[in-house]
């Protein structure tokens, strides 16, 4: 297994001032998944479900409160020196907003060269070749290296961000909402590029997204998150064809379809996601769940297998 996340938790202390009681935000509250070589795993859920916090922990921008992240079987918490540097090289990221993620004061050549120089010391000619090589891989001409980010369109900037991630030969790329800031007309081009690159370099992708259409067409396995927990996971085709958790069912029902007869129920997901500072007892989804029974407000549902690689946490999942 390339990347494995075990019972991961991230809790933040907040408040505690004169006018405000303190508390603990349980942004991620005991969650596991894995990503194999060359596969695409998606984490999906509404904003506030904890998926971005997971991405930050995988990228070592945040430390877990509990639990472990393993890369090729080794716990990140035990890595140091060259091993830590190798991990940072093997796991790269492409973020949502290519306008914010590229330094506007640097030329593209410097932007792409930065991560290379953090890991090796190539001579000028080799560095130049490498930069031009990755620009070619993402479909940009060598002349793009001498320009600044503002001289490109949104889609081209995302290509530059992908080139920067690719420049150090990673094994896995975390894609945090990779197309949601782009024009609808160029989203497919970026997805095709990501698919080509994945095949060519046997890359693994961990996608963080709220866009279910993207997840359905692009991932091999999916994990649905709600308030810091995984509520359902499995092969994407299976989860989308036979969603077993009421939250997943409601998310899927709320997706607009081209079919004129399809009318998404207006109350597909009623109410707002609760605060991670004071999550509801029992099943965290129970205040919004159309199928909740008395037991749901008292007892958290256990995570269990539902067959065909599918698993979930709902008291009524077997009855669905």
Smallest separation, CB 281 to ligand SF4 (Å): 11
Q: Which is nearer to ligand SF4, 205 or 285 (CB)?
A: 285
The answer to whether 167 and 115 have CB atoms below 8 angstroms apart is yes
Report, in Å, the least distance between residue 302 CB and ligand SF4: 10
The residues of the shown chain that bind ligand SF4, judged by CB under 6 A, are 245-246, 283, 285-286, 289, 291-292, 296, 301, 314-316
Tokens of 224: 């649905």
Tell me which residue of 185, 108, 184, 104 sits closest to 142, measured CA to CA. Answer: 108
Residue 251, H or E segment: helix 246-253
Tokens 């769940």 belong to which residue?
Answer: 289
| Least distance CB 278 / ligand SF4 (angstroms) | 17
Task: Considering the complex, state which of residue 28 and residue 292 has its C-beta at the smaller distance from ligand SF4.
Answer: 292
Residue 20 Cβ, how far from ligand SF4 at the closest point, in Å?
A: 30
**Measured on CA atoms in the order 13, 17, 22, 28, is the torsion positive or negative?**
negative
Residue 149 or 246 with smaller CB distance to ligand SF4? 246
Q: What is the dihedral of CA 312, 303, 224, 31, to 10 degrees?
A: -160
Helix (H, G, I), strand (E, B) or coil at 314: coil
Nearer to ligand SF4, 215 or 283 (CB): 283
As measured in angstroms, the least distance from the Cβ of 301 to ligand SF4 is 4
Residue 180: closest CA among 215, 152, 204, 143: 215
What is the nearest approach in angstroms of ligand SF4 to the Cβ of residue 318?
Answer: 11
CB 173 within 8 A of CB 165: yes
Between 96 and 249, CB nearer to ligand SF4: 249
Select 174 or 289, whichever has its Cβ closest to ligand SF4: 289
Nearest to 88 by CA among 106, 67, 71, 105: 71
**Cβ proximity to ligand SF4, 72 vs 318, nearer residue:** 318
Q: Output the six-digit token pair for 140.
A: 């940009």
- Name the minimum Å distance from CB 295 to ligand SF4: 7
For CA atoms 251, 252, 254, 255, give the dihedral sign: positive
């Amino acid at each position: 297994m390339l990347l494995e996340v075990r019972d991961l938790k991230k809790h933040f202390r907040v408040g505690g001032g004169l006018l405000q009681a303190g508390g603990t935000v349980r942004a991620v509250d005991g969650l596991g998944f894995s990503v194999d070589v060359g596969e695409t795993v998606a984490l999906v859920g509404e904003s506030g479900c904890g998926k971005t916090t997971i991405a930050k922990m995988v990228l070592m921008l945040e430390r877990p409160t509990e639990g472990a992240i393993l890369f090729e079987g080794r716990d990140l918490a035990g890595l140091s020196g060259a091993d830590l540097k190798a991990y940072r090289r093997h796991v790269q990221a492409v973020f949502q907003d290519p306008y914010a993620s590229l330094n506007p004061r640097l030329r593209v050549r410097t932007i792409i060269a930065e991560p290379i120089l953090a890991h090796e010391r190539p001579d000028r000619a080799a560095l130049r070749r490498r930069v031009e090589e990755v620009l070619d891989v993402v479909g940009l001409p060598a002349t793009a290296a001498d320009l600044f980010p503002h001289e490109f369109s949104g889609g081209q900037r995302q290509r530059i961000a992908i080139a920067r991630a690719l420049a150090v030969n990673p094994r896995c790329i975390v894609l945090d909402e990779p197309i949601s800031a782009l024009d609808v007309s160029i989203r497919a081009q970026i997805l095709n590029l990501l698919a080509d690159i994945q095949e060519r370099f046997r890359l693994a992708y961990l996608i963080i997204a709220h866009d279910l259409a993207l997840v359905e067409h692009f991932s091999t396995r999916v994990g649905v998150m709600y308030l810091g927990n995984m509520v359902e996971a499995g092969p994407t085709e299976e989860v989308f064809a036979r969603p077993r958790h009421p939250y997943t069912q409601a998310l899927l029902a709320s997706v607009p379809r081209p079919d004129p007869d399809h009318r998404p129920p207006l109350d597909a997901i009623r109410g707002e996601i609760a605060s991670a500072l004071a999550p509801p007892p029992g099943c965290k989804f129970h205040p919004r769940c159309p199928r909740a029974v008395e037991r749901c407000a008292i007892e958290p549902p256990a995570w269990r297998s539902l067959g065909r690689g599918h698993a979930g946490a709902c008291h009524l999942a077997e009855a669905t």
